[in-house]
Amino acid sequence: MPELPEMENYRRLLSELIINAPITNVVVNREKSINVPVESFKEELLGTRTIFVERRGKHLIFHLNNGRRLLLHLMLGGLMYYGTEEDRPKRSTQIEISFGDRTLYFIGLRLGHLHLHSAKEVDELFAPLGPEPLDRRMTPEKFAGILQGRRGSLKSLLVNQHVIAGIGNCYADEISYEAGLLPSVKVQDLTEASVARLYDAMQKVLREALEGGGYMDTPFMVGDQLTGGYDNQCKVYDREGEACYRCGGTINKSELNGRKVFYCPSCQHEQ
């Protein structure tokens, strides 16, 4: 599932390509991917322009010049491609939004969606979300305060969108590894030093993943050399049975609270 780095990478690319470009055509191949009747969806979008693309957690918000918002959540397996019919991936599309001779294809939205909302509705939907981990206001002190009084496993806390927005399975494991902590460690048992190390790990991993284009393996457009560049930099995620880059131990895969976890039992500890 695309997480903060992947969605922020998409946001940056889209901000360079579609801002103030009029929407010239809309195709909806799967009605369940939207939240209003197809004709209403098309009428609302045709001729409008995107004036700003925002990211909140794992969502993208397209701010339209008519005051409306398009809210995107790719969920599991979703991706976007910007280009022409000839060069796009040979996969079925759920929604297509054209800007002249280029189209933004929404692919894999079987679980994801592209919903049309008012600004007020978007604010209400995001009210329960936790703070952004890379926001300038996310200081070590604020992070420690967020963890204070929390209970349960570290993995469960990191992926809880009501606690911190944008982190999912992949980066929760990568952050835990960077901090030298087991994903199963109880948050309530972490020392002050461990919490400080965890904060530093979160900042380092997410920023490096963002600059590396995230782990999505499908280019966003022809000539895109950035998207997916972080995939080969993951230290533990999806590396079961391989050698740990840090200590040479073997990366394990297990299940914790219904989620898969990857970790190195040799150099990740309780503190």
Residues 176, 154: contact at Cβ < 8 Å? yes
Give catalytic status of residue 239 as yes or no: no
Query: Which residues face 105 on adjacent strands?
Result: 81, 96
Residues 6+ apart with CB under 8 A from 7: 55, 57, 58, 59, 60, 74, 166
For 149: left if phi > 0, alpha if psi spans -120 to 50, otherwise beta; the answer is left
Pairing of strands 93-99, 102-107: antiparallel
CA distances for 55 relative to 135, 230, 245, 265, angstroms = 12, 19, 32, 35
* Angle formed by the axes of helices 140-147 and 192-211, nearest 10°: 120
Choose, from 58, 155, 235, 239, the residue flagged as catalytic: 58
68 is catalytic: no
The one catalytic residue among 49, 88, 197, 259: 259
Single out the residue of 258, 229, 254, 74 nearest to residue 159, CA to CA. Answer: 258
Q: Torsion-angle region of residue 258: left (phi > 0), alpha (psi -120 to 50) or beta?
A: left
Task: List, in order, residues 6 or more apart from 67 with CB less than 8 Å away.
Answer: 118, 119
| Measured distance CA(34)–CA(148) in Å, rounded | 39
- Name the catalytic one among 3, 8, 132, 174: 3
Q: Please, are residues 48 and 65 in contact by the beta-carbon 8 Å criterion?
A: yes
Q: How far is CA 165 from the centre of its chain?
A: 9
Known catalytic residue: 141? no
Q: Is-catalytic flag, 259?
A: yes
Active site residues: 2-3, 58, 259
